[in-house]
Structure 1
Amino acid sequence: MSVAPMVDVTDRHFRYFNRLLTKNSYLYTEMISTGAIIHGDRHRILDFSPQEKPLVLQIGAAKPEEMVEAVKIAEDWDYDEINLNVGCPSNKVQEGDLGACLMAKPELVRDILTEARGITSKPVTVKHRIGIDDLDKYEDMENFCSIVEASGVTRYIVHARIAILKGLSPKDNRNIPPLRYEDVYRLKEEYPHFQIEINGGFKDRESILAQKEILDGVMLGRAAYERPYLLNEVENVLYPEDTASITRQEILEHLIGYIQENFDEDNKAWPLYRNIYDLFAFHKGAKVWKRILNEGLKEDKPGDALKKALDQLPLESLLSSSLLPLSS
């Protein structure tokens, strides 16, 4: 299991929160372009805390030589894996010839991945769509993977929707193109030596665990922040010997300590608050929790909102580590 790279979501604060819920899942950075790594503030962009590992650096690249330079720089940060984004459909990403538009350039993707594998001992993987625009048939994806395979990459994270690059926003591309799990299953049947992880639409424990009999993994996107306890529920099934349920009270106590270490009085904790907004989703206390967090924006001291939550939320809600049914 893994948590997908999501812009403005999977920052280091959200990843710390995720790690409280799952020890074994792979976490991803937001997609970072090669240009940002090469020319930007590297410590601000690449720094992470050891607690976040195993952690994957996802890179947006359009040129093999730029990928090489970015991966060389990232070696000093000791990420556990390097992943190439071939799935993001945003206009800004397309303007840089990054992301999903590379589905139409499998030879270039092959070359980018080949060069990356040549300079790092870390695993190099690719996350892609099942298709784009007119390249929307299974045969188009199979052709893409057959060409990319020559890079030596054997792990493919497949978002089971096509991306419509002209006419749909990134949000619409997460909802409007239908899910086609059968295409991902067929890819695994025809390329059994690939490790294939599926992404798209998984919202409950049963549907996630069902993939275990077919594929090699499941990547969660929006469900990881809309229903964060899903991570812990699945983890407890997959790794019962080394995981345990964690209550919301324990989560808040950990986060108070984290805030005290990472935010001073002039540095409001909203970068953390925004990504724990659904900590009580589908659970008693959700409305009170959101009110306390919203009021926390005005607090003088970061962390006060979480202390109020410990005082004001019902004890049975704080001590629970379970989700209500999705229909609730």
Structure 2
Amino acid sequence: MFSLAELNTIDFVLPGGSVTFRTSAEEKNRVIVQLGTPEPGTALQAAKMLENDVMGIDVNMGCPKAYSIKGGMGAALLTKPEIVKDILTTLTTNLRIPVTCKMRILPELEKTIALAKLIESTGVAAITVHGRTINERSMHRNRNEVIQAIAHSVGIPVLANGGSRDIIRNHEDIEYFRQLTSATGVVIARAAMWNPAIFKSLQVDEPLPKLEEIICRYLTLVNNVSFFGGSRDIIRNHEDIEYFRQLTSATGVVIARAAMWNPAIFKSLQVDEPLPKLEEIICRYLTLSVRYDHHIAGAKYCVLRMLHDFGGTPIYEDVLASNELRDLCAIWNMLDVYDHEMSNRLERLKNHQLTLNNSTVNCNQEIISSPSLSVSSDSLSVPEKRPRVEEHLSNTTTVLVNDNNVPGVKINNFEEIVLSIPYERRFWPDHGTSPKQILREHCKLLKWDSPKYETIEDRNKRSFFSTVLVNGKRYRNTSACKSKRYAEQAAVLVCLHVLGIPDGKVHADENNKVNLNNK
């Protein structure tokens, strides 16, 4: 964890350099971080790193996804009460900030209430209850009566979740859902994503905000919202939030999709107060995205969710085709804002550097990694399980050579060539051609066997390295990747580079900029 002066943010960075969580002082009292954990030790370690920079810690005991279940996290904890007790007790005993948890219901009401009471006994500040079982999804009915039974059985706040599809459509529905469930509050996800204006309480004759206004405002605040629940069935506007909370007898409501569809859903409108325009919301969000260097994938996702009713339109396709934040800003004629924010970031960075004992750093320098070719004298065996990278590379010797002198070193009857070429996913568009596709077509054209891949993992740094076998030669990339899939693409880059085949990379300056006036 470190403070990034350029963005005025607090970043939590993985050993490989990837930012896994970014926050700022402005949102400290608004953000609750949800942890997925199978045991108390790592949960406490992670929470301790976060407790000075967030409002609270929430333990996820409701995620039904396979990766959570297989890891003993999320909904897997619903049937492990002793582990639940150990995790929550450890956190509540050792943290200075509130601890909460989010759970799904069990098939049996008695077991559900027993689990809720056990959770209450650990000292948590509140419980969010999603009214569906581990095997149920949003198309199934939310068990509001079960949430109500839990709310009547425990003495701590219960937040109702899951009412978006059936109940929450507008702001008034939120209170209705809360009363229906006897909850203290409502947790909303989809209803707020569909209609971010759902949190806004309209006065008499007050019009709803336009979708354009909602998107801009929601995208400005999106990093401060971490709730999800009754969006599909109930939550459509601000009033639906309270309805959903009452419906589940919860303490509050967690919203995701309803807020993404309508970011103004959280705003309680006054008499004659107009809702913000969608364009205004998008512009405010993009301004903050540039200011805090939000990842393009996250920014595109949020904007596209706001435009869910405009799928297939030119503006939707333009957002989908964007590769950088600058591209998104161009769609809404915000290039002047983009340049201004980038200039401010550079100025903050320069001012910060003045305090570093007169150490000089060229803020405008661009670091370019040139491929360096090397040859390994060791072989890569194919293990039954993916080995740790240190086990594989500890005895490896490399000899640097130039690009025009690729020696034929035999390794287990194969020649191995090693390069360091960073693979950045953003330079290969979603609808473009990937390096693996290019290599596959090349092999097919020359009637070579299909490429074969081997991958090793550095578990300490959470990095992956792959080797690809093509036509009797092995090509290995020493540039670390964050996933096996990306590591395979990186290995192919080495092969394509040596074979002199274009890799399909698209540079930022080659992208067509979008003009909103042409829409």
TM-score calculated relative to the size of structure 2? 0.44
Work out which of the residue numbers 108, 112, 116 in structure 2 matches 1:145. 116
For 2:157 and 2:298, locate their aligned partners in 1 and report how far apart those are by CA, in whole Å: 34
The reply on whether 1:188 has 2:145 as its aligned counterpart is: no
Please tell me the residue identity of whatever aligns with 2:37. Answer: A
Q: Secondary structure at the match of 2:132?
A: strand
Kept in 2: contact 1:269–1:303 (CA 8 A): no
The reply on whether 1:257 has 2:287 as its aligned counterpart is: yes
Q: Secondary structure at the match of 1:45?
A: strand
The reply on whether 1:65 has 2:41 as its aligned counterpart is: yes
The reply on whether 1:159 has 2:130 as its aligned counterpart is: yes
Q: What CA deviation, in whole Å up to 9, does each residue of 1:146-199 have, x standing for no partner?
A: 2222211241000100012xxxxxxxx4235432110001111222x2201111
Where does residue 111 of structure 1 map in the other structure? 86
- Where structure 2 has 5 or more consecutive residues not aligned to the other structure, the ranges are 1-11, 201-236, 239-265, 334-513
The reply on whether 1:90 has 2:71 as its aligned counterpart is: no
The reply on whether 1:221 has 2:248 as its aligned counterpart is: no
Q: Percent of aligned pairs with the same residue? A: 23
Q: Secondary structure at the match of 1:183?
A: helix
For 2:178 and 2:140, locate their aligned partners in 1 and report how far apart those are by CA, in whole Å: 24
For 2:33 and 2:91, locate their aligned partners in 1 and report how far apart those are by CA, in whole Å: 13
Q: Secondary structure at the match of 1:62?
A: coil
CA drift at 1:38: 10
CA drift at 1:268: 7.8
Residues 41 and 221 of structure 1: is their aligned pair in 2 closer, same or farther, counting only changes over 3 Å? farther
Kept in 1: contact 2:117–2:153 (CA 8 A): no
Work out which of the residue numbers 315, 340, 349 in structure 2 matches 1:289. 315
Structure exhibiting the larger radius of gyration computed from Cα positions:
2
The reply on whether 1:236 has 2:263 as its aligned counterpart is: no
Kept in 2: contact 1:80–1:123 (CA 8 A): yes
Q: Secondary structure at the match of 1:46?
A: strand
Please tell me the residue identity of whatever aligns with 1:236. Answer: K
For 1:38 and 1:62, locate their aligned partners in 2 and report how far apart those are by CA, in whole Å: 22
- Where structure 1 has 5 or more consecutive residues not aligned to the other structure, the ranges are 1-36, 165-172, 314-328
Please tell me the residue identity of whatever aligns with 2:152. Answer: E
Please tell me the residue identity of whatever aligns with 1:272. Answer: A
CA drift at 1:236: 3.4
Kept in 1: contact 2:129–2:161 (CA 8 A): yes
Kept in 1: contact 2:158–2:185 (CA 8 A): yes
Q: What CA deviation, in whole Å up to 9, does each residue of 1:201-249 have, x standing for no partner?
A: 3141243221343311111122333333334452333x869x9843223
For 1:257 and 1:230, locate their aligned partners in 2 and report how far apart those are by CA, in whole Å: 23
Kept in 1: contact 2:102–2:130 (CA 8 A): yes
Residues 220 and 41 of structure 1: is their aligned pair in 2 closer, same or farther, counting only changes over 3 Å? farther
Kept in 2: contact 1:110–1:149 (CA 8 A): no
Q: Which has the higher contact order (CA 8 A, sep 6+)?
A: 1
Matches within 5 A, 1:33-48: 44-48=19-23
CA drift at 1:142: 0.7
For 1:299 and 1:44, locate their aligned partners in 2 and report how far apart those are by CA, in whole Å: 17
For 2:24 and 2:103, locate their aligned partners in 1 and report how far apart those are by CA, in whole Å: 27
Kept in 2: contact 1:83–1:127 (CA 8 A): yes
Kept in 2: contact 1:249–1:310 (CA 8 A): no
CA drift at 1:119: 1.6
TM-score calculated relative to the size of structure 1? 0.68
Kept in 1: contact 2:75–2:104 (CA 8 A): yes
Residues 218 and 289 of structure 1: is their aligned pair in 2 closer, same or farther, counting only changes over 3 Å? farther
Where does residue 169 of structure 2 map in the other structure? 204
For 1:106 and 1:204, locate their aligned partners in 2 and report how far apart those are by CA, in whole Å: 35
Q: What CA deviation, in whole Å up to 9, does each residue of 1:244-302 have, x standing for no partner?
A: 84322321331342344345xxx98343022121324558x993531332343499745
For 1:310 and 1:196, locate their aligned partners in 2 and report how far apart those are by CA, in whole Å: 46
Aligned pairs, number: 257
CA drift at 1:306: 2.5
- Normalized per residue, which structure has more helix? 1
